[in-house]
């Protein structure tokens, strides 16, 4: 179903707004993305509130640390009921494999649902020029290719990437699940910090499995209608 492809990003820390969002989408079995700002503001409470509302949690903290620290953090996520969480693929193959195996072992021992590890390739805020300068001549596409091959070797089957890299990734690993931020509905013209964007329809046609959409929904005067319009736009 198209409805299941949309991940709503909770890009706010306003308690009243969070209340409104959760009430609007209660019991719809959607995925809500919780980022650094919101998690630092509310902590595990926001995870519990989302789970209690009949929805799922995508915790986007982009883990990038020594293996033991990441494994212990992932265990806490599993205990709190997190469904998916992000980790930077730049951690390297051995670290990623250790994280996956350590988390699976812990969850099996505790009879917990194993959270899905989502590998982050290149942040969507990078322009091609900025990336070239930062990484000494490496292109975004080349870096993405190197990272996804390593992720596959580590057993990471779900990735985050800019919509501009969907075709590249699906061409190499057609069965990988791809979460795609940087999605803007065709009538959403407000400028923001996303540099490499596509419309929801374009991203789905290219092969994206999930679309992360925040501001176009939660900053709308009618959030449910904005969400439904995006679903309609994809189906057209």
- Active centre residues (catalytic): 62
Contact, 183 vs 198, CB < 8 A?
Answer: yes
Rounded to 5°, the CA angle 195-200-202 comes to 85
Residues contacting 101, CB < 8 A, separation 6+? none
Q: Strand, coil or helix: what is 11?
A: coil
- Residue 20 CA from chain centroid, whole number: 22
The single residue listed with the structure tokens 């193959």 is 93
Name the nearest CA neighbour of 151 among 124, 176, 179, 125.
Answer: 176
The single residue listed with the structure tokens 């929805």 is 55
């Amino acid at each position: 179903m198209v409805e299941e492809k949309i991940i709503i990003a909770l890009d706010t820390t306003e308690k009243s707004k969070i209340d409104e969002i959760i009430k609007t989408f209660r019991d719809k079995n959607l995925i809500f993305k919780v980022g650094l700002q919101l998690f630092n503001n509310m902590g595990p409470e926001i995870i519990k509130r989302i789970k209690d509302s009949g929805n799922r949690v995508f915790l986007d903290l982009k883990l990038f640390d020594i293996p033991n620290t990441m494994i212990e953090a992932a265990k806490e996520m599993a205990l709190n009921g997190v469904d998916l969480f992000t980790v930077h693929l730049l951690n390297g193959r051995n670290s990623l494999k250790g994280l996956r195996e350590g988390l699976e072992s812990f969850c099996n021992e505790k009879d917990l649902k194993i959270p899905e590890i989502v590998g982050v390739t290149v942040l969507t805020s990078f322009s091609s020029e900025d990336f070239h300068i930062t990484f000494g001549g490496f292109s975004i596409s080349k870096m993405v290719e190197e990272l996804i091959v390593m992720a596959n070797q580590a057993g990471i089957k779900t990735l985050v990437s800019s919509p501009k890299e969907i075709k590249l990734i699906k061409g190499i690993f057609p069965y990988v699940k791809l979460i795609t931020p940087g999605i803007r509905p065709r009538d959403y013209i407000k400028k923001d910090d996303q540099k490499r964007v596509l419309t929801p329809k374009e991203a789905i046609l290219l092969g994206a499995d999930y679309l992360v959409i925040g501001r176009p929904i939660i900053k709308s005067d009618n959030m449910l209608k904005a969400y439904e319009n995006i679903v309609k736009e994809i189906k057209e």
